[in-house]
A and B are shown apart, each in its own frame.
Chain A
Amino acid sequence: MPPPGPYEAPARRRHPFRDVRLHVVSGKGGTGKTTVAAALALALASGGHKVLLVEVEGRQGLAQLFDSPPLPYEERKIASGAGGGEVFALAIDPEAALLEYLELFYNMKRAGRALKRLGAVDFATTIAPGLRDVLLTGKAKEAVSREDKSRRLGLAYDCVVMDAPPTGRIARFLNVTAEVAGLAKVGPVRGQAESVMALLRSPRTAVHLVTLLEEMPTQETRDGTRELRSQVFPVGAIVINKMRPPLLPKSELARARSGSLDRGELAAGLKEVGIDAEPELLTALLEEAADHARRVELENAERRALADLRRPSYELPLLTDVDRVDLGGLYRLADLLRAQGMVG
């Protein structure tokens, strides 16, 4: 068997998200959706594009990822892509978004302050149903359609990438604007809600789901896909994150699983390189091999289940930094997404 090389990306595919302007990245907790969203933004920025990366959960995950101080409610350049590309980041704060919205659309700066004093802003952003989510998606929509005459195509950003709520909540999060449209039968709120829904349900949006090849995340990915489809949101890619390459050749996996690897051959091999092949060591190593084989087998089963979703899928390796994924790691993931054709 040749020694396993560096992580190998699956074969290149034509990039299917060429026309997408809003990339919504969701995933079960712990799957690394923030990391994938950031890598996707870097990948999209290469070739001189300008990309806005937004986070909506108020936990400053992007600042931590890019090792920057907490992001204010302001679009800030956070990284450069190849060929003069730029990634800007924004942590959307619902309260600031509401005040901005009032000022922008109603010229009501003073009213905003009055609302704040009354506790209405707090009510709108924390207690009132869905309004918070409406503000978050509304802001993303604003960034997608913002104009900038000085740029090619006249748009401020070529793409917007959203680090969205987890898979279990994503359909509800996206749909809440439709609910508000249902609540407000007339008026400006309804108009705004309808234009946001039009974007979210169009081919200009793609909802990507990040998963691991483990039971619960793939189950959630399947449930999430079904939910998104039933509410007519465009499901984009499945991104399988934190992959660890198989370390046993296929022929040995089944034997390792059933505990019938050649103990004598292992002992001889160890002896050859001067490792004392004590029986306890041999047993422990064979157990580790069996564990590994079980994991690979499960991963394969999960991968097959994900293939049934009939969405393009991309795989990213586990980065093993102790601190956090560093910028170098993010560029590496971005390259892998490009190499696999998620971004062209």
Chain B
Amino acid sequence: MANLLALLGHAASSLNAHRAAVATAGHNIQNINTPGYSRQQANLAPVPADRIGNHYIGGGVQLQNITQIRDRFFEMQFPQATAAAARSQAESRALQSVYIFNPQLQNGVGDTLAKFYADIRTLSADAGNPGLRQQAVSSSRALALSFNNAATSLRQSRLGLDAQVENLTAKASALSQEIASLNRQIRIARASTSGGAPNDLMDQRTRARDELAQLTGANEILDGEGNVSMVLPNGASLVNGDFAARIETFPDPANGGHLGLRLIKFDGSTEAIAAMGGSIGGSLAARDGALRTALDQLDQLAFDFAQAVNAVHQAGFDLQGNPGGPLFHAGPVAAGAASRIVVEAAILANPDLLAASDTAAGAPGNGANFIALGAIEDQSLASGRNPMSTIAGIISDFGAASSRVTALAAHDTALLQNLDSMRESVSGVSLDEELIRVQQAQRAFDAVSKVISVTDELLDTLMRLK
């Protein structure tokens, strides 16, 4: 009788174990599309056997634990791979979005520079023609405006990246807090069970870790208590156990007021962040790399070009025989020249002030000075190249930077996809597998139910013996 009752107890335990297996498979199925979810497995183990006489009779099955299926080899590589791909993708996206260097763009700097020369050349052949003078002034103005537009476009791109960096740093700080909080919750959950792992919390933490790595390039360090700590590429600690530092942006005067980054540490002290990876690092690399270089080169070109044109223009004489003034104003220094460059207001108002002549005699048909002005097309500026070659160089340098980083992004993305596939292959949920497991557990459940039914009949038979 007692053994029959024990049999019922064992069967009940077995039913629980198989129910847990069904529940676990169901949990997997329900989370099939949950980002960062790792499939779980109900591990069943036989209940230790009872000794009856000279024999050991098994005690059924029990749920030993529920574990996540993860491959540490892939897991360790994932944050770095996702950070590298996010960085190159962010930089590539930022550079790809710059349209101002489209070589076919109408009224781009190259286009307006060529029109400027053409109109200067045309005017030199008929220097007294008021229509051609007006046209030369218009093309000078169009050239100045195209410099302004190109500089504005590049500056706007850099400002747009500032806004993006600000947004991403806020997200990164929130993720740091989340990881610190999950570290605490996981520790408490572990302590409250005897060896049971809070798998879903761990999944959440892994997802937050991956996202933080994607944003900042931070790397994971596991400590002895199972906490995940995150360290930025420059070695600064972003998450340490239960504590999270915060990334803060500030206008950096050394970088034209563009946003710099600093870490507000756990104790409230601050530390400058010299290196950043992930999307933030990629955005900063685009902002302070190719975009800044292009803007600096454009500024230098506008400055050198204005100087060269003004030197020639001031050596000539206007329609009344007065010495020419500067044609362009680009400011005293190269920095910001492309944004500042304008045509002299007096010339805009009165094209007769164009100093086309090389004589003070007031000869209206003398266009010799504009022949000299047109010759700037072939002359090297301070940079060592002529203006058109400089523009072509700026465009090709920018294109080369964009092409390089786009190729890098494709490479990094392919690596990440491969790693993700490998990780998914281990940790992902297969509907076929889970349905089979459900069927398998259901069969076992049915069979154990049958055992209970038979045991009940045996007990019933015994009861009827009375």
Pair from one complex: no
Task: Give A residues with C-beta under 8 Å from B.
Answer: none
Task: Give B residues with C-beta under 8 Å from A.
Answer: none
